[in-house]
A and B are shown apart, each in its own frame.
Chain A
Amino acid sequence: MRFKRSSILPGFWPAFAFALSYLSLLVLIPLSSVALTTASEGWGRAWRIITAPQVLASLRLSFGASLAAALINSVFGFLVAWVLARYQFPGKRLVDALVDLPFALPTAVAGITLAALYSETGWIGSVFAQAGIRVAYTPLGVLVALTFIGLPFVVRSVQPVLEDIEQEAEEAAASLGAGRGQTFRLVLFPLARPALLTGFALAFARGLGEYGSVVFISGNIPLRTEITPLLIITRLEQYDYAGAAAIALVMLAASLVLLFAINLLQWRTRRAMEAPGL
């Protein structure tokens, strides 16, 4: 089989060569440095670095908090998507636009703002403090930051699917004797499920690598509130390139697995949306 199917249009080779060399020089070759630098120092040392208590604690926090934040956003993101797709209410356009704010706001700005809001003197933090709960500088603060940053993913994945479901599907369900609850459980929710999963995976992936919005509210207490990306920076500041690369390799592997899963899910979502009756 030949590499490229023939076409009458010009410009394939210049466009392809430019895109591929650009991507290789800027993305692929630099990313390979993570694996190569780790390997050059030996896998034994890399393993010792990754399994050090401080790194393991940070991995637990990063994975745990990202997972919890993605779950919170799955519930509330689905709710927001549902309300925006199906109900009319005053100010809806403004609310719809505000959902994207965590995408648009620089992470450092989000970070200092959340730290101020949830510190013991902040508006929300002081309410929690009266109940004896500290948010800023605890793992709970990490959860708050990751929930903020992941908020748009589920909404923007699920909303278009809910908007595309035609009323006929619901009418058919109703005419066959289904109540509203049954229609939701058996018709609407299954249609939106692949998109919900995609949004969940996107929010989780984003949370895992997030840095700027977390480091201000987390307080970076060793073994307690250090996230994994922060440990990479700490290693770099000590000029321990191989150590930083070893920790980064774990994160990179997780990113690649998630990217693959997300692509698979998006492909399934598209197929579900193209299914007859939609």
Chain B
Amino acid sequence: MSARRVCQDPPLLRWGLTLLAVGYLVLFIVLPLVTLFAGALSKGWRAYGAAIFHPDTLDAVRLTLLAAGIAVPLNALFGLAAAWAIARFEFRGKNLLITLIDLPLAVSPVVAGLIFVLVFGAHGWLGPWLADRGWQIIFAVPGIVIATLFVTVPYVARELIPLMQAQGAEEEEAALVLGAGGWRIFFRITLPNIQWSLLYGVVLCTARALGEFGAVSVVSGHIRGETNTLPLHVEILYNEYRFTAAFAVASLLSALALVTLVVKRLLEGKKEPRYKAQAAQPFGEA
């Protein structure tokens, strides 16, 4: 019996298991997708277009893009700074810091929204102080931006830290010895070495920022045209029994999710590997 045969399952078992696995995915993933798009188009393309181009929907699109447009660059900057400090230096409490970065992923989105109400809300810590100055954060746009920031903190950092730890500091140290300054090292050595993983993290971060529901729902107040993001708009339409419009707006978000999956797949092929690259011999093999 050949080695190949020994490690292969009999065809009947193989096909049985494959069918079972694919069946499970069809039931839990494909069927919901089909339901969603069927629901969106159940009253024809005109109703679909009317729901998408409704002024309330367009307002929601604008606010969603604004929140993501602020949250993603800030969290990318945070990810870069955290990865530089953690992957290039040895200091006490490093593992604790890495765990803390993951914290927003472990916290319920509702709790994520709640904490900002406790801090900035009318009866919260800073509530009276903010009210004196006429500043509103909760039930207003700043609250939505802050909640989005919170839930998307870890995505870029989580991509960069393990990668930069695996790559090691040799190349940057060599550049320093050759006389390059800090920023020059960062832009000429570090950034090119992590660019695809950075982009990958940014894509994940953006997808979450555009789709966040729970945390944003708690701080938003659901004021149409003002504090309504796309996912919240879906909820409002659904609760008003305008199912076709709800599914139409939802299909927009799902299309975005499908695009994210494709881009993610493409980037996975390009992402820098997380083991030490052979470039450790920059002058070629003698």
**A interface residue numbers (CB < 8 A to B):** 1, 3-5, 7-12, 14-16, 18-20, 22-23, 26-31, 33-34, 37, 76, 79-80, 82-84, 86-87, 89, 95, 97-102, 104-110, 112-114, 116-117, 122-124, 147-148, 151, 167, 170-171, 174-175, 180, 205, 208-212, 216, 229-230, 232-233, 236, 239, 241, 244-245, 248, 251-252, 255-256, 258-260, 262-263
State which of A1, A100, A233 has its C-beta within 8 Å of the C-beta of B92: A1
Q: Report whether B110 and A232 are in contact in the complex, using a CB–CB cutoff of 8 Å.
A: yes
Known: A3-B92, A171-B6, A241-B118. A98 touches B32 (CB 8 A): no
Verify if B194 is at the interface (C-beta below 8 Å from A).
no
The answer to whether A4 touches B90, judged by C-beta atoms less than 8 angstroms apart, is: yes
**If the complex has contacts A27-B100, A112-B247, A252-B111, are A105 and B257 also in contact, measured as CB distance less than 8 A?**
yes
| CB of A212, distance to nearest CB on chain B (Å) | 4
- Are B3 and A109 touching (Cβ within 8 A)? no
Q: Does B277 contact A (CB under 8 A)?
A: no
Contact B7 A117 (CB under 8 A): no
Across the interface, B18 reaches (CB within 8 A) one of A26, A83, A123, A211, namely A83
| B246 contacts A by Cβ under 8 Å | yes
- Please pick, from B32, B99, B261, the residue contacting A104 in the complex, using a CB distance under 8 A: B261
Contacts A167-B7, A255-B107, A255-B108; is A105 near B254 (CB within 8 Å)?
A: yes
- A31-B107, A174-B7 in contact; A248/B114 too (CB < 8 A)? yes
A229 interface neighbour in B110, B172, B186, Cβ under 8 Å? B110
Taking Cβ atoms with an 8 Å cutoff, the residues of B that contact A are: 3, 6-7, 9, 14, 17-18, 20-22, 24-25, 27-33, 35-36, 39, 77-78, 81-82, 84-85, 88-92, 97, 99-104, 106-111, 114-119, 121-125, 146, 149-150, 153, 169, 172-173, 176-177, 181-182, 185-186, 207, 210-214, 217-218, 230-232, 234-235, 238, 243, 246-247, 250, 253-254, 257-258, 260-262, 264-265
Question: Is A124's CB under 8 angstroms from B31's CB?
Answer: yes
In the assembled complex, the CB of B3 is this many whole angstroms from the nearest CB of chain A, namely 5
A211 contacts B84, C-beta separation under 8 Å: no
Q: Measured between C-beta atoms, what is the minimum distance from B16 to chain A in Å?
A: 10
Could you list some 15 contacts between A and B, CB below 8 A? A7-B89, A15-B81, A19-B81, A23-B78, A31-B115, A33-B115, A86-B9, A95-B22, A97-B261, A108-B235, A212-B213, A212-B214, A229-B108, A248-B114, A263-B102
B30→A98 contact, CB < 8 A: yes
Contact: B218 with A233, CB < 8 Å?
yes
In the complex where A8-B173, A209-B108, A236-B117 touch, is A113 in contact with B261 (Cβ < 8 A)? no
Cβ-defined partner of A26 (8 Å) among B82, B153, B260: B153
Which chain A residues lie closer than 8 Å to B234 at the CB level?
A: 106, 108-109, 112
Top-7 shortest CB links A-B? A209-B108, A106-B211, A229-B110, A212-B213, A211-B214, A104-B257, A33-B118
Given the interface contacts A80-B21, A113-B35, does A101 sit within 8 Å of B261 by beta carbon?
A: yes
Q: Report if A236-B114 is in contact (Cβ < 8 Å); known contacts: A4-B90, A15-B82, A116-B35.
A: yes
Once the chains bind, are A170 and B24 in contact (CB under 8 Å)? no
In addition to A95-B22, A99-B29, A106-B253, 17 A-B residue pairs with Cβ atoms within 8 Å of each other are A4-B89, A10-B185, A23-B101, A31-B103, A33-B125, A102-B29, A105-B257, A106-B211, A107-B213, A109-B257, A116-B243, A171-B6, A205-B106, A211-B109, A241-B124, A245-B114, A248-B108
Which residues does chain A contribute within 8 Å of B218, judged by CB atoms? 233, 236
Residues of A contacting B90 in the complex (Cβ-Cβ under 8 angstroms): 4-5, 7
**Residues of chain A contacted by B30 (CB below 8 angstroms):** 98
